[in-house]
Amino acid sequence: MVVAAVHLDTDVLVIGGGPAGCWAAWNAVSNGSNVVLIEKGYVGTSGATAAGNTTTIYTKRGTSERAATVAQRIRLGHGFSEPDRIERVLDRTFENLNLLAEWGYDFPQYEDGRPYRGMLRGPDYLRFMRQKLIKAGVKVIDHCPAEELLMSDGIVAGALARFRRSGETLEIRAGAIVIATGGCAFLSGALGTNNLTGDGYLMAAEAGAVLSGMEFSAQYGISPAYSSVTKGVVYFWGTFSDEQGNVLGSSGDRQSVVARELINGPVYAVLDKAPPRLQEGFRRGQPNIFVPFDRMGIDPFTERFPITLRHEGTVRGTGGLKINDRSSTTIPGLFAAGDAANRQGMSGATSGGGGPNSSWAMATGSWAGEDAARFARALGRNWRTRRTTRVTDPAKGTASNDASDVLAVIEVAKRHILPLDGGFFRTQSTLEAASKDLRALWDDRSWRSAGNARAREAEAFIATARWSTESALLRKESRGLQRRPDFPSEDPTLLRTIETGGTDGLWAAFQTDIQVMSEAS
């Protein structure tokens, strides 16, 4: 039995208010559904996109630009990218960007005055979408993190959430649900990712949903050592050196070269390869990159500055909830979009970065809204009278009320996930150690506290780390974001998707051979 202070009914519930969630809500309401959108932060300022500008792929099918973009995604995908899916994602992105223009969104302009639709200013974009949703009749609820899903005979039937300010529980009955909660950056401090802790993964997995591609989660972004900004485009025009000023070699990808050196000592960069015209363009197009430099009185185009690598996890990586060729998860009535969904078909085994991920959020968000509206409509009005059940045991989280316990648990988990010699470069020994300790953290109930938002985030963080670790243990090769010094080459026999899921009974296996992990082993 569910006891909640506030009750709502809606055809479609969207959990998460970033770009994917906003497009899902818009397309659901446009297809005749009543829609509620709940967000743990504030729709318009919360998440990675809201923290800065984002590139978006604006190309028309049949053009040379489109062909080049698809070819690039396939080349970088290490065998997992799907040409048809890439084309369909870019088709929908092209359509949505044109729709934004029709609505009056103020795109940046080329020097000749033409609108440049390949760039969206994050805060403007999401504020614009928020107002569009409210005018369309979407009920937007801010500062209300979802905590768990409700089920009815194997079908998603609603969710429980909690108002941050009052602590009251909100029960939402829904005909269909879209998970658009973003990915997990493991509380690394990367810009805009502090509230991206894998919450949607955990809620869906508790209901029985399958995740995939979680080993391709070891994405790290270059940033100044004194900054959280991980915008990587400017570093294509950079020179990297060690503390003595020796220029680093260029063998391997840029992140790997930097990572190897950072394990040994400080690394510096200078953006000395950017010509003056490009420098001006960077400052206009990505101004937040330069705020920390200006505050420190550093000219990054002429002066060396210390850099680091910050874990961006599945926010910029590939793994997420398994979906079909649109947005359906493995649970009836549950749909996933954006970083919450697996992106192997779009980006393969490597990071999608800004443009591909932004385009993916637009397209899958749109499909999720349409598909959820269709699912709810097919149920008729019967879903409103369904008997719902919780998917978790409410008694499991009543042991601790000490916030310091949760913070200590998070710090232990971070020590296995964030360091470059355990998270960026993975070996059998580091993965086995992480697997053992993360499982012990998960099995320990003493730090959990019912109704504590930070404890719930810690659960999601640890669960995501476990799915990533167990998947990485299975993939005994180096491919894309999976870097195994003990297995340095790609193995063509392993060009298969790894699936994972479960919480107390966590499992991971190649797609054609799913086996439950023994919790006694």
Q: What integer pLDDT is reported at residue 395 of this predicted model?
A: 62
Tens digit of each residue's pLDDT (9 = 90 or more) over 351-377: 887 889 999 999 999 999 999 999 999
Q: What is the pLDDT of residue 426?
A: 97
Q: Which domain holds residue 127?
A: 6-51+121-216+313-388
Higher pLDDT, 55 or 207: 207
pLDDT > 80? residue 3: no
What pLDDT sits at residue 152?
96
Q: Which has the closest alpha carbon to 15: 451, 362, 336?
A: 336
Other C-beta atoms closer than 10 Å to the C-beta of 481 total 26
State the Cα–Cα distance between residues 90 and 96, nearest whole angstrom: 10
Q: Domain check: are 307 and 422 in the same one?
A: no
Residue 331 lies in a domain: yes
Residues 290 and 227 in one domain: yes
Given a cut of 70, whether residue 306 has pLDDT beyond it is yes
What percentage of the chain carries pLDDT values higher than 90?
A: 79
pLDDT (tens digit per residue) in 326-335: 999 999 999 9
pLDDT surpassing 60 at residue 518: no
Identify whether residues 225 and 276 lie together within a single domain.
Answer: yes
Given pLDDT bands bounded at 50, 70 and 90, which one contains residue 400? Answer: low
Q: What's the Rg (C-alpha) of the chain?
A: 22
Q: How many helices (H) and strands (E) are present in the chain, helices listed first?
A: 14, 18
CATH of residue 408: 1.20.58.100
Same structural domain, 168 and 317: yes
Neighbours of 325 (CB within 10 A): 11
Q: Does 320 share its domain with 425?
A: no
SS (H, E, C) 354-403: HHHHHHHHHHHHHHHHHHHHHHHHHHCCHHHHCCCEECCCHHHHCCCCCH
256 and 330: one domain? no
Contact 490, 477 (CB under 8 A): yes
Classify residue 471: in a domain, yes or no.
yes
For the entire predicted model, the pTM comes to 0.94
Judge whether 88 lies within some domain: no
Q: Which residues contact 103 (CB under 8 A, 6 or more apart)?
A: 128, 132
pLDDT category at 401 given cuts 50, 70, 90 is low
| pLDDT value of residue 519 | 39
Return the CATH number at 17.
Answer: 3.50.50.60
Average pLDDT over residues 30-37: 98
Q: Is residue 212 part of a domain?
A: yes
Give residue 383's pLDDT.
Answer: 86
What Å distances lie between residue 420 and 12, 183, 233, 311, CA to CA? 41, 20, 21, 9
pLDDT (tens digit per residue) in 46-98: 888 988 778 899 999 999 999 999 999 999 999 999 999 999 999 999 999 99
440 or 402: which leads in pLDDT: 440
Same-domain pairing of 357 and 438: no
Asked whether the predicted pLDDT for residue 316 surpasses 50, the reply is yes
Model confidence at 396, in pLDDT bands (50, 70, 90)? low
Each residue's pLDDT tens digit, 473-510:
999 999 999 999 999 999 999 999 999 999 999 999 99
Question: What does the pLDDT read at residue 520?
Answer: 31
Look at residue 367 in the predicted model and tell me its pLDDT: 98
Residue 301 lies in a domain: yes
User: Among 359, 388, 417, which residue terminates a domain?
Assistant: 388
**Same structural domain, 209 and 240:** no
Domain end: 364, 388, 412, which one?
388
Q: Residues 136, 244: one domain? A: no
311, 333, 360 - which closes a domain: 311
* Same structural domain, 152 and 175: yes
CATH number of the domain that 290 lies in? 3.90.700.10
Q: Which residue has the higher pLDDT, 216 or 111?
A: 216
22: in domain: yes
pLDDT in tens, 449-461: 767 888 999 999 9
pLDDT at 282: 86
pLDDT at position 207 over 60: yes
- Mean pLDDT score, 202-216: 98
Report H helices in 19-78: 19-30, 64-76
How sure is the predictor about 517, in pLDDT bands with cuts at 50, 70 and 90? very low
Q: Are residues 259 and 283 in the same domain?
A: yes
In a domain, 93, yes or no: no
Give the total number of structural domains in the chain: 3
Of 69 and 400, the structure prediction assigns the larger pLDDT to 69
Both 234 and 335 in one domain: the answer is no
Whether residue 163 is contained in a domain is answered as yes
Q: How confident is the model at residue 340 (pLDDT cuts 50, 70, 90)?
A: very high
pLDDT, position 514: 43
